[in-house]
Chains A and B, each alone.
Chain A
């Protein structure tokens, strides 16, 4: 009897032991943490390490961490600060910029950094064959010339004045002349050391970095950085709580709630970001919409009524767990320089909305709204999958708009399919998306507001402005882009904000708050609203001492 039971018992024991072993095995094999490293996760692989060819956010972060630049925007004060350039001077007509380099600059491989390297790097960015996105910011890059009269001086000649030209140099990394190295020989705080696609990116400290702290200690303090490629929120938070990660950028409201419970000193809510969540209607003349629908969406009263019906405070409270601010304007109050404090906008009121709709020819029958021709007001709102807060907003909007008799269907699509409908076919009725504003200056938003731009979402690529108010927006945006006087620029931008509030081409809903997490064991972290929010002063962040928490 014992013999015949032996094998099944052995099998059972093996399977229990195996299950226990699998349960206790490490969750994932990650690279061991090097002492003195700062570690956090990015959500996808950088597409390139060539700083001149950066065209997405992950690569932009790598360029920020590795590339030495002439000037840098301090993400907290939002002021330009000299970096490799000790000083700079812009001529009164704005067509000549002169940079004076610091003495004794070196690349990470020990070679000297001179004006020849700076000139070469600038010319490389400006060259059409490089295909650099930054070149477009010079407006006419082929007419820009660079010369280096001596080893420490660089002169940039522009065909015409560019507003806020200094900020462009924040995005141009200086590389060794004729030796582009894709981030391996740099003048910034770190260099690219190792990269495994889908797993991690390792950066090493630049031993020849020019900067020192007030005590004369060479920066950066960290000996390196490890960026794990990880697109799983739960894993990222769990790793942070275990002490494997030092920073978490852009927390979701849910994750922020978890951190507030488990590690409140590590969670930071910086208030409203520069980003917006907005709803807009398709007003394009070429869209495949029935004429009556296009007429609704082009009707100002219709759009304003929709705006007045939406309970923005509920969106902020419910979809973002209170970590968002109701929005009525495309410029967030976090943008203190350009936000219009005196903006007049419609307050939330269902009765006002109903009155507006009646005045615009709509009428109610039971729970359904109809237009003057008897068409029931039903439309779809398109949004992208994978954003839980946005999907909650869409569902909340369904109930809000039902209060004025509009029937809304929500359609979530994956991003490529959504972009095809929005940008290529204009095959949609309404869209709910967010806009990431990475810069303070309104000139960065030209592509959104100029009626001829393909990113003029509600009616892209107009040959001529379809309405007088769009023409007025064009005029004001071009004025603010070309005027050197700050007060003229501010007045123009204020005017645009008021037009947008009156016409509601974009119905702004909320400004999501900036939610970040940083290990309390780090010293020197100063979260900012501008990206990279936690790593903007990376060279001044002290890594934790010892092992994990």
Chain B
């Protein structure tokens, strides 16, 4: 079943890429005589408020958004895991310092750092550059929320019998962490990853207010999700639900895939 889920996910992404590559419409092309049209022969999923083909834009948003948010989520989990494990296997003083740093990180309004990041980018930076910058910044700032949970989990597990046994067998700390401990932390790491992906998708759209995020005319998955807060738009087109349906499908597939990994672990 694990293979089935991974194939389904791959098929979805390949279908999106294929739609993007072989559609007759560019994602930026505005058909101004076809504003918010329903499904037609020319536009299978209708058009958006600027007459752009929704199918192509959703496909592009899926590819860009999934790649960016999944990569950012993976990086943030790795940083959180590294931080938590370092604190768990350090002396009490160092652990206290590291946890203190994590708490300070959570308290400080990093929004202003994002504003400064935008002001450092040239105004003519392409939408792709700002998108990559956005996801990098999200990855760099998202780790404190789960680092303490990972630290606690690691502290609980480091004195487990099998860890002591591994130590007695001569495994070095690094080996014990990578081969023994990290797999046992999966119940913490995988849900955090699944939470970070949609959170980063939406956060990217919210950062559009600061000049970051995916810039027009490149499609933004998060911006499409934010259309759900516009009641006027919801009343005029049902295709606005397509991006969220796809996000739920992607998360379901990811979740099923990861829980299969758990079952077989």
Residues of A within 8 A of B (CB): 234, 237, 254-255, 257-258, 261, 311, 314, 318, 378-380, 382, 385-386, 391-392, 394-396, 398-399, 409-414, 417, 427-429
Residues of chain A within 8 A of B119, CB atoms compared: 417
Contact of A382 among B50, B123, B216 (CB under 8 A): B123
Q: How far is the CB of B123 from chain A (nearest CB, A)?
A: 4
Give A66 to B83 CA distance when docked, in angstroms: 59
Question: Is B115 located at the chain interface by the 8 A CB criterion?
Answer: yes
In chain A, what residue has the closest Cβ to B215?
A410
Residues of chain B within 8 A of A394, CB atoms compared: 216
Contact of A395 among B50, B124, B235 (CB under 8 A): B50
13 intermolecular pairs with C-beta atoms under 8 Å apart = A254-B230, A254-B233, A382-B123, A394-B216, A395-B50, A395-B216, A396-B30, A396-B50, A398-B28, A409-B126, A413-B118, A429-B123, A429-B124
Q: A380-B124, A413-B210 are in contact. List 9 more A-B contacts (CB 8 A).
A: A385-B208, A385-B209, A392-B50, A394-B216, A396-B30, A398-B216, A399-B28, A417-B115, A427-B123
- Asked if B123 and A409 make an inter-chain contact with CB atoms under 8 angstroms apart, the answer reads yes
Contact of B209 among A257, A380, A386 (CB under 8 A): A386
Q: Residues of B within 8 Å of A, CB-based: how many?
A: 29
In chain A, what residue has the closest Cβ to B125?
A409
- Asked if A255 and B232 make an inter-chain contact with CB atoms under 8 angstroms apart, the answer reads yes
Interface 1/0 per residue, B113-138 and A, CB below 8 Å: 00100110001111100000000000
Give A391 to B51 CA distance when docked, in angstroms: 15
Question: Is B167 located at the chain interface by the 8 A CB criterion?
Answer: no
Q: How far is the CB of B237 from chain A (nearest CB, A)?
A: 12
Residues of chain B within 8 A of A396, CB atoms compared: 30, 50
Interface 1/0 per residue, B2-43 and A, CB below 8 Å: 000000000000000000000000001110100100000000
Residue of B50, B115, B125, B232 ringed by the most chain A CB atoms within 10 A: B232
Question: Is B231 located at the chain interface by the 8 A CB criterion?
Answer: yes
Give A428 to B119 CA distance when docked, in angstroms: 11
- Asked if B217 and A398 make an inter-chain contact with CB atoms under 8 angstroms apart, the answer reads yes
Assuming the A-B contacts A254-B232, A318-B51, A392-B49, are A414 and B209 also in contact, with contact meaning beta carbons closer than 8 angstroms in the complex? yes
- Asked if B231 and A258 make an inter-chain contact with CB atoms under 8 angstroms apart, the answer reads yes
Q: How far is the CB of A167 from chain B (nearest CB, A)?
A: 37
Q: How far is the CB of B66 from chain A (nearest CB, A)?
A: 23
Residues of chain A within 8 A of B210, CB atoms compared: 385, 413-414, 417
In chain A, what residue has the closest Cβ to B121?
A411
In chain B, what residue has the closest Cβ to A427?
B123
Question: Is B211 located at the chain interface by the 8 A CB criterion?
Answer: yes
- Asked if B127 and A409 make an inter-chain contact with CB atoms under 8 angstroms apart, the answer reads yes
Q: How far is the CB of B98 from chain A (nearest CB, A)?
A: 33
- Asked if A412 and B30 make an inter-chain contact with CB atoms under 8 angstroms apart, the answer reads no
Assuming the A-B contacts A254-B232, A318-B51, are A378 and B124 also in contact, with contact meaning beta carbons closer than 8 angstroms in the complex? yes
Question: Is B161 located at the chain interface by the 8 A CB criterion?
Answer: no
Residues of chain B within 8 A of A314, CB atoms compared: 32
In chain B, what residue has the closest Cβ to A429?
B123
Question: Is B229 located at the chain interface by the 8 A CB criterion?
Answer: yes
In chain B, what residue has the closest Cβ to A410?
B216
Give A379 to B124 CA distance when docked, in angstroms: 6
Q: How far is the CB of A337 from chain B (nearest CB, A)?
A: 35
Residues of chain B within 8 A of A386, CB atoms compared: 209
- Asked if B123 and A380 make an inter-chain contact with CB atoms under 8 angstroms apart, the answer reads yes
